[in-house]
Amino acid sequence: MKKFYTVFAVLAIAALALSACGGASADVSEDNCADEAVLCVGLVTDVGEIDDKSFNQSAWEGVEQAVAELGAFSKYVETKDAKDYAANIGLFAEKDYDVIVTVGFAMGDATLTAAAEYPEIDFIGVDQGQWGGDVANVAGLIFPEDKAGFLAGALAAQVSETGTIAAVLGTDLVPPVVAFKEGYEAGALYINPNINLISTYHPGGMDVAFVDPEWGATTSKQAIDQGADVVFGAGGKTGNGALIEVASHEGVYCIGVDSDQWETVPEAHPCLITSAMKLITPGVFNLISASNAGEFPGGNYFGTTGLAPFHDFDASVPQEVKDKLAEIDAGLLDGSISTGYGQ
């Protein structure tokens, strides 16, 4: 299984609780952030919690790696309302933090505004493509989600017995979610041009689309009732709700997103065949390391994607399916296979 993994994975402000993470020396605190010898890293989540078992958590784990390996001091703030993005970033900027990580597409404008105001701070914008011209102190950590989605769809089409598969998604206001969905559908159609696809975006806005597990569960059940025997959940806690619902249905597979959700959503173990991963943790850590070394790359920084291991389902996935996925992965890498996304 380790060989398979290698193939695919090299691939109101005061009310907001600031939580410290240990790892730096005991005598280092936020008061030391102005000291050039101290590396201070702050992270601002998108609307949602740090332990969302998906997107925010993966970014925070990259910061925690910097604590462990670089001796950084770190804190995070959980955003409760999108109107607080700028103020939350300011909580760290005003304390002379060296690096501020902002998580999510929706924080892009607030990140750029803060970067202009605080040019001495390096900003890492996760899922924030820098297409309007490079800013020296902003790195947009972005991923080819369509490729991970394509692999997930190709797997889903090969293991489906009913010929119907589904995707339960966050909002289509977020390009990476759209990329996952478009890739998933394209990958499934690559395997089976006649496959039946049921893809559903959350109807709410940015404030609720990724924190609604009840909707995710209901929507996945509806898809199963329509014959779907594979469900891809891509939408933070909303997607997690879909996975956990699927786990209660015998004979139905589920596919996670962003991280290897086998490790973060154990309730989904009965159905979780794999996850379409964005390797957010190493991407965040690598950029923090670059900043610490004085080599911060402004502009877009491309992270990698891939499928997680099959874990307990490894023996039940036929070798020919694994071989086909490896073939597709190679084609996506060399350009001989296109997802069609953005074309």
Got the DSSP string for 246-297? HTTSTT-EEEEEES-TTTT-GGGTTTEEEEEEE-HHHHHHHHHHHHHTT---
The closest alpha carbon to 76, from 60, 99, 55, belongs to 60
pLDDT at residue 12, as a whole number: 33
What backbone torsions phi and psi does residue 325 show, to the nearest 5 degrees? Answer: -65, -40
pLDDT (tens digit per residue) in 210-265 = 999 999 999 999 999 999 999 999 999 999 999 999 999 999 999 999 999 999 99
Compute the average pLDDT of residues 314-329.
98
Is residue 97's pLDDT more than 70? Answer: yes
Residue 24 confidence class, pLDDT cut points 50, 70, 90: low
Q: Output the pTM of the full model.
A: 0.85
What backbone torsions phi and psi does residue 189 show, to the nearest 5 degrees? Answer: -70, -30
Residue 11 confidence class, pLDDT cut points 50, 70, 90: very low
Tokens of 161: 């017995």
CATH superfamily assigned to domain 145-277+308-334: Response regulator (3.40.50.2300)
Compute the average pLDDT of residues 96-125.
97
pLDDT at residue 258, as a whole number: 92
Q: Within 10 A of 137 (CB to CB), how many other CB atoms are there?
A: 18
Torsion of CA 46, 209, 197, 9, to 10 degrees: 20
Decide whether 2-143+280-305 matches 145-277+308-334 in CATH topology. Answer: yes
pLDDT (tens digit per residue) in 267-320 = 999 999 999 999 999 999 999 999 999 999 999 999 999 999 999 999 999 999
pLDDT at residue 338, as a whole number: 97
Residue 133 confidence class, pLDDT cut points 50, 70, 90: confident
Is residue 127's pLDDT more than 80? Answer: yes
Is residue 9's pLDDT more than 60? Answer: no
Compute the average pLDDT of residues 53-58.
86
β-strands 305-307, 272-278 pairing: antiparallel
Rounded Cα–Cα distance for residues 290 and 269 (Å) = 36
Tokens of 124: 């890492």
Q: For residues 118 and 93, is the Cβ–Cβ distance under 8 A?
A: yes
Got the DSSP string for 74-141? EEEEEESSGGGHHHHHHHHHTTT-SEEEEESGGGHHHHHHHHHH-TTSEEEEET----S---TTEEEE
Average the pLDDT over each of 7-21, 68-82, 230-244, 288-302 and give the range with the smallest value: 7-21
Report the CATH architecture of 2-143+280-305.
3-Layer(aba) Sandwich (3.40)
Is residue 49's pLDDT more than 90? Answer: no
pLDDT (tens digit per residue) in 171-189 = 999 999 999 999 999 999 9
Our CA angle for 171, 325, 272, nearest 5°, is: 55
With a pLDDT cut of 70, the percent of the chain lying above it is: 92
Rounded Cα–Cα distance for residues 46 and 83 (Å) = 11
pLDDT at residue 48, as a whole number: 79
Rounded Cα–Cα distance for residues 201 and 220 (Å) = 11
Sorted by where each begins, the domain ranges of the chain are 2-143+280-305, 145-277+308-334
pLDDT at residue 14, as a whole number: 31
Is residue 116's pLDDT more than 80? Answer: yes
Mean pLDDT in the chain?
Answer: 91
Compute the average pLDDT of residues 80-93.
95
Is residue 22's pLDDT more than 80? Answer: no
